[in-house]
Amino acid sequence: MPQRYELLIFDWDGTLMDSAGVIVAAIQNACRDLDLAVPAGKACRSIIGLGLTEALTALLPGLPVSDHERLVDRYRHHYLGQDHAIPLFAGVARVLPQLAGRGHLLAVATGKSRRGLQRALEHTGLAHCFTATRCADECLSKPHPAMVLEILEDTGVAPQRALVIGDTSHDMLMAQNAGVAGLAVAYGAHDATELAACAPLAVLNSFSEVEAWLARSA
């Protein structure tokens, strides 16, 4: 079967790494540290994948900008204390090198900072799998298409030959805005109903389903 998608652009948190729950807990603990109202878990999950400024504005619209840095510092304290122990989803470490070996180019478009992604790549040993990466502190935030458009430019791949794989509506809307197909996973931050509303090619419930879908359709 001819290869349909030359370039596979993965989100990181909630798509490759099982980190959504840790992110939610770190946000909530940071709010407790500053005696702020603690947002519900669903609200915290809704902003996963956004750039930092956009996430804070959406989650805590009444928080003065002058307090953002303190909140970010506390969030990093709670998250970085355990990020080295956050696991990849089952199968990720095996499948990504196989995809690259079959001729796919792999990339990452993430709401993480560059420093955060670098730490994750070092901890997981997956840096060699990716041809291009973009982070939220380098580009306009999802759902703006900048990350995808820059990755397309870096790799020289046409939009119709690229596929975005992610766990949030932000990922799917970013793909739409870039003129690229989207494949949604419902095992991360956003639920299947929210993802389906963005009209992805499919909504999958495990990384093993991602592996099978890519083998069959990519």
Domain end among 84, 104, 122: 84
What are the strands, taking DSSP E only, across 51-131? 105-109
Q: How confident is the model at residue 82 (pLDDT cuts 50, 70, 90)?
A: confident
Question: Is position 18 annotated as part of the catalytic site?
Answer: no
User: Of the residues 13, 83, 167, 171, which is catalytic?
Assistant: 13
User: Of the residues 11, 18, 83, 171, which is catalytic?
Assistant: 11
Distance of alpha carbon 87 from the chain centroid: 15
Residues 118 and 201 both lie in one domain: yes
Q: For residues 184 and 62, which has the higher predicted lDDT (pLDDT)?
A: 184
Asked if the structure places residue 1 within a domain, the reply is no
Residues 49 and 107 both lie in one domain: no
Asked if the structure places residue 141 within a domain, the reply is yes
Please state the rounded mean pLDDT for residues 65-69. 89
Cross-strand pairs, 163: 8, 181
Please state the rounded mean pLDDT for residues 132-157. 96
Which residue range(s) make up the domain with 179? Answer: 7-18+86-217
Quick check: 129 pLDDT over 90?
yes
The tens digit of pLDDT for each residue in 4-22 reads: 999 999 999 999 999 999 9
Question: Is position 67 annotated as part of the catalytic site?
Answer: no
Residues 80 and 97 both lie in one domain: no
Domain end among 84, 106, 136: 84
Dist. CA 12–CA 44, nearest whole Å: 17
Residues 134 and 157 both lie in one domain: yes
